[in-house]
Structure 1
Amino acid sequence: MSLLPVQHTAGSPYHILVDTNFINFSIKAKLDIVQSMMDCLYAKCIPCITDCVMAEIEKLGMKFRVALRIAKDPRFERLPCTHKGTYADDCLVQRVIQHKCYIVATVDRDLKRRIRKIPGVPIMYISNHRYNIERMPDDYGAPRF
C-alpha cells in the first residue's frame, strides 16, 4: 500500500522520466534506480526511458555499457518518440510539456533549469548518495527533509 495519496495526474505508480546523466550518476553512487526511487517516494515507481535517451546512451559507446544494460532493464518502460534526431533533453522537455504526468529524474543543471520553468513538474535528483525530490506538490504527501 502506498503512503502517498493519489490526487494528481502524477499519482502512484509514479512514472519517472530518466535522463542519461541520472543513470550514470546512480551507477557511480552505487544506487539501484528502481529501489532508490521507491525509497524516495514511498510508492511504486516506473522509470521511463524515451527513444532519444536510449539513442544517446547507445551513442556514448563502451564507457556507458553499464548504463545501457540498466536502461534495457524490463522494469523500465520504453517510451517511443514520434520525432527524429531530437536532442534527449529537448525530448524530455517536450514530453513533460505535453503530458504533465511525469516526474523528471536528472542531475543536469541546464535540464533542471528548463524543467523548473514548467509549472507542476517535480524533479528527482541525487544528493548525498540518495534520491531527493524537488517541487512535489503538498497534496502528494511526499516527505520533507
Structure 2
Amino acid sequence: MPRAKRTKKFAAMKRMISLNDPRIKDKDREPPKKKKKEDPSEMKITEAPQSSSALFFQYNTQLGPPFHILIDTNFINFSIKNKMDVMQSMMDCLYAKCIPYVTDCVMGELEKLGSKYSLALKIVRDPKFERLPCLHKGTYADDCLVDRVTQHKCYIVATCDKDLKRRIRQIPGVPIMFLSQHRYTIERMPDAYGAPK
C-alpha cells in the first residue's frame, strides 16, 4: 500500500521555552519583574479630555443660522438617486439658510468613482458649495470629516454612511443630517432652532 505524501508545513515556528520556565537553569532565567509600590500619600493624576467651549452641557452654542453643513460622498449620491435638490431640501429641513461645505477628500473620492458619478461631481462644483482645503495626508473622507468636526463644533454632518454616523454620535454636540423616506432629516439638533422632529 503506498504511503500518503506529507505536505511540508510552511511558516511552522520552532517552539521556544520561555525564560521563566522551571527547566531552565537559575543563571539563564529572566529576573522577576518588580512592581512599583504605590505610595498612599502621593497624588493621583488623571487626564480628562478638555471639552469644547462651544458646549453648554449637550447644547452646542455655535450652531445657528446660517447653518454650515459638511457633506459626505454618499449623501450626494443618495440625493441624486432620490431626485432631490440638495440646497432646497436642506432649507426645507432646517427652515433657515444653509451653506454646504465640501472637503478636498470628498472631491477626490467622487473623482475616483469615475464617470458613473459625473453628475455628483457637477453638483459639488457648483459655486453655492464652499470648498474646504485639506492639509492632511491621504484621501479617506470619513477620517477627514471626523477630525474637522472634533476641532470645530460649528458643523452639521450630512451623511448616509452607518459607520460614519456611529463615529460622529460619539462626539458631543454634532448634529447629523441624513436621508429617510425621500426627505432630509436631522438628528441630535437642539430644540431651540426649531428642528423638525
TM-score by length of structure 2 reads: 0.68
Q: Match for residue 91 of structure 2? A: 38
Q: State which of 96, 106, 110 in structure 2 corresponds to 1:57.
A: 110
- Are 1:17 and 2:50 an aligned pair? no
Local SS of the residue matching 1:75: coil
TM-score by length of structure 1 reads: 0.92
Per the TM alignment, residue 139 of structure 1 is displaced from its structure 2 partner at its CA by 2.1
Local SS of the residue matching 1:27: helix
- Are 1:93 and 2:146 an aligned pair? yes
- Are 1:48 and 2:95 an aligned pair? no
Q: Match for residue 4 of structure 1? A: none
Per the TM alignment, residue 137 of structure 1 is displaced from its structure 2 partner at its CA by 1.2
Q: State which of 80, 90, 95 in structure 2 corresponds to 1:27.
A: 80
- Are 1:133 and 2:186 an aligned pair? yes
Q: Deviations over 1:21-73 (max 9, x none)?
A: 00000000000000000000000001100000001001111011001001101
Q: Match for residue 102 of structure 1? A: 155
Q: Name stretches of at least 5 consecutive residues in structure 2 with no aligned partner.
A: 1-59
Q: Match for residue 121 of structure 1? A: 174
Q: Which runs of 4+ in 1 moved over 6 A?
A: none
The answer on whether the counterparts of 1:52 and 1:88 sit within 8 Å (CA) in structure 2 is yes
Q: Name stretches of at least 5 consecutive residues in structure 1 with no aligned partner.
A: 1-6
The answer on whether the counterparts of 1:47 and 1:76 sit within 8 Å (CA) in structure 2 is yes
Distance 2:81 2:164 in 1: 20
> What is the percent sequence identity of the aligned residues?
75
Distance 1:72 1:87 in 2: 19
Which AA in structure 2 matches 1:126?
L
Q: State which of 137, 140, 146 in structure 2 corresponds to 1:84.
A: 137
Distance 2:193 2:62 in 1: 10
Distance 1:23 1:98 in 2: 24
CA-based RMSD: 1.0
Q: Give the length in aligned residue pairs.
A: 138
Higher RCO structure, 1 or 2 (CA under 8 Å, sep 6+): 1
Distance 1:55 1:27 in 2: 18
Q: Deviations over 1:65-113 (max 9, x none)?
A: 0010011011001001111214100000000000000000000000000
Which structure has more helix as a fraction of its residues? 1
